[in-house]
Amino acid sequence: MKKLFIPFLLVCFYAHASDPYPRNPAIDIEKYVFQLEVTDNNDVLNGIATITLKIKKTISEFELDLINKKPDGTGMEVESVFGQETRLKFAHQNNRLTIYLSAPAEANQSITLRITYKGVPQDGLIIGKNKFGDRGFFGDNWPDRGHHWLPVIDHPSDKSAVEFIIIAPMHYSVVANGIKIEESPLDLKRKLTHWREEVPLPVKVMVVGIAQFAVQQSGVINNIPVESWVYPQNRLEGFHDYAYAPKVLDFFITHVGPYPYKKLANVQSKTRWGGLENASAIFYSENSVTGKGDREKLIAHEIAHQWFGNSATENDWHHVWLSEGFATYFANLYLENSYGRDRLVEEQLKDREAVISFYKKNQRPVVDSTITDINKVLSTNTYQKAGWVLHMLRQKIGDIAFWNGIRKYYATYQQRNALTGDFVRIMEEVSGEQLNDFFTQWLYQGGHPQLSVTWQFNKKKNTIEVKIDQVQKDGLFSFPLEVALVDKNGQIQLETLNIGSKQSKFELTARFEPVQLKLDPATRILFEANIQKK
């Protein structure tokens, strides 16, 4: 295995395999403006998408993602495509919309197109009754479900500004990304609501919610209004449950950097997820509202995404740990800041148990370029194990370097895209340490250390003899393992053992006769172990 280790490093960090999305390097979407009309009479969505794109290489045609109309009547049907005032030819098949320009567009040119379409969304825009029986329309784009109702580049590598102009029955309120710039009645039955987000977003976190809402401003942090949007029937419970948000927002602004958007709305919705981190308009499942105030960790996780995933976005689905692992660990860091080190340890131990259990069913690494179904990139690996990687990095380089590196990474890649190698490079620069080996074993190698530990006390020599075997089937890990020797009175002697081979033996001078050997008493390392005293 060791002979393969150095080439493996080069493959991991310098020859990134791409996910299967067919990228087009000739275009870059700069802005979407979606005018959408919905009604209570049916589920048909009438849309006009105005798309501005920059040409990076001369082209005469290009493709967008948009679901075709299906035999069951769901899906989208394109009626026309215009460039300026010129009607353009198009083809819509295999869920791709090919647009043929009337003349080649040259590099560095910007063009604007207008696509008129309609249809019944099968997914992406969730239309139906909520738990109180009221009708609503909720965007739910993650991971690539936006093209079920919007013509887009449905991949996180392409980020753009977005506006939603919603025409809906008068009794609905509308929430979306950005700030509201207009709300006007059109007639006695309909009104128009216009939201604008100028910061570039990936489609996965573009969103609109159209429903009956009770709305409260729960606070203002650094001139950022923090709002709660909940169903009227559980208004008081929702306002209570989402009231943690200002405190959470303040933590991340203080520790990571300025908030990237102009408002933060926490929205009760019909999302299929427990929470979906839509930029500046987080959607939570409708059952997140209980009135018990027990969603603080979830709220912290989704707010962390505003920095990690939304602003600094993974450039490839295989590197989604840069989003989910960060949100997982930074939610734990928020809890540590609020309630102390013991709360962090509690969360890390729960996450460690989850990782150990998951590995029994799935031996894949965190960054797994063999995954072709992007719905499968989310797992305990990309959440809890990736969070543990950040925790171990913090132990390895220390708090000061860790936080300086996090702030530099975010400052460098805010409103941009990054890969794992980008994060590694910045943490190396800040810490002054070589970290490729660390990240390779924890991110690109499956599993974790599984240790068989035996120990005994030698009364004649007054030493403790410790033998540690790595018994996992594949791969070796190198890491420092702290052990605590405990005597019958509870006195503790701490030692650090550097593990780096299949079998390791240590002889430690004892200050007393121990009755117990504890591994990793400060909860610093991801591992599992069987301990025996001879």
Domains of the chain and any CATH numbers: 22-208 (2.60.40.1730), 213-306 (3.30.2010.30), 313-444 (1.10.390.10), 450-533 (2.60.40.1840)
- How far is it, in rounded angstroms, from Cα 224 to Cα 208? 20
User: 5-14 vs 420-431: helix axis angle to the nearest 10?
Assistant: 110
User: Phi and psi (nearest 5°) for 271?
Assistant: -60, 145
Rg, the chain, Cα only:
26
pLDDT confidence of residue 474: 80
CA 228 to centroid of chain Cα atoms: 21
Please report, for residues 38, 379, 384, 526, 528, the alpha-carbon distance to residue 353 in angstroms, rounded to integers and kept in the order given. 46, 14, 9, 9, 9
pLDDT at position 84 is: 86
Q: For position 312, what pLDDT does the model report?
A: 98
pLDDT, tens digit (0-9, with 9 covering 90-100), for 197-236? 999 999 999 999 999 999 999 999 999 999 999 999 999 9
CA diameter of the chain = 95
Confidence (pLDDT) at 222: 98
Question: Which residues, in sequence order, are CB contacts of 314 under 8 Å at separation 6+?
Answer: 156, 320, 321, 322, 323, 417, 418, 419
Helix/strand/coil for 251: helix
Phi-psi region of 222 (alpha: psi -120 to 50; beta: other; left: phi over 0): left
- What per-residue confidence (pLDDT) applies to 15? 42
Phi/psi region, residue 72 (left: phi>0; alpha: psi -120 to 50; beta: rest), is: alpha
Distance CA 218, CA 245 (A): 8
Per-residue pLDDT tens digits for 473-514: 889 999 999 999 999 999 999 999 999 999 999 999 999 999
Tens of each residue's pLDDT in the chain, 534 residues: 332 223 333 334 434 557 889 999 999 999 999 999 999 999 999 999 999 999 999 999 999 999 999 999 999 999 999 998 899 999 999 999 999 999 999 999 999 999 999 999 999 999 999 999 999 999 999 999 999 999 999 999 999 999 999 999 999 999 999 999 999 999 999 999 999 999 999 999 999 999 999 999 999 999 999 999 999 999 999 999 999 999 999 999 999 999 999 999 999 999 999 999 999 999 999 999 999 999 999 999 999 999 999 999 999 999 999 999 999 999 999 999 999 999 999 999 999 999 999 999 999 999 999 999 999 999 999 999 999 999 999 999 999 999 999 999 999 999 999 999 999 999 999 999 999 999 999 999 999 999 999 999 999 999 999 999 999 988 999 999 999 999 999 999 999 999 999 999 999 999 999 999 999 999 999 999 999 998
Question: Residue 158 in contact with residue 264, Cβ under 8 Å?
Answer: no
State the Cα angle at 460 between 459 and 461, rounded to 5°: 95
Specify the DSSP element, H or E, that contains 299. Answer: helix 296-304
pLDDT at 17: 55
Give pLDDT tens digits for 381-402: 999 999 999 999 999 999 999 9
Residue-level pLDDT at 2: 32
Task: Please provide the DSSP assignment of 334-378 as one string.
Answer: HHHHHH-HHHHHHHHHHHHHHHHHHHTT----SS-TT---GGGS-
CA distances from 188 to 28, 412, 492 (A): 40, 49, 76
Q: State how beta strands 208-211 and 416-418 pair.
A: unpaired
Neighbour tally for 205: CB within 10 Å: 30
Please state, in angstroms and rounded to a whole number, the distance separating the CA atoms of residues 534 and 459: 13
How many Å apart are CA 376 and CA 200, to the nearest integer? 26
What pLDDT score was predicted for residue 10? Answer: 36
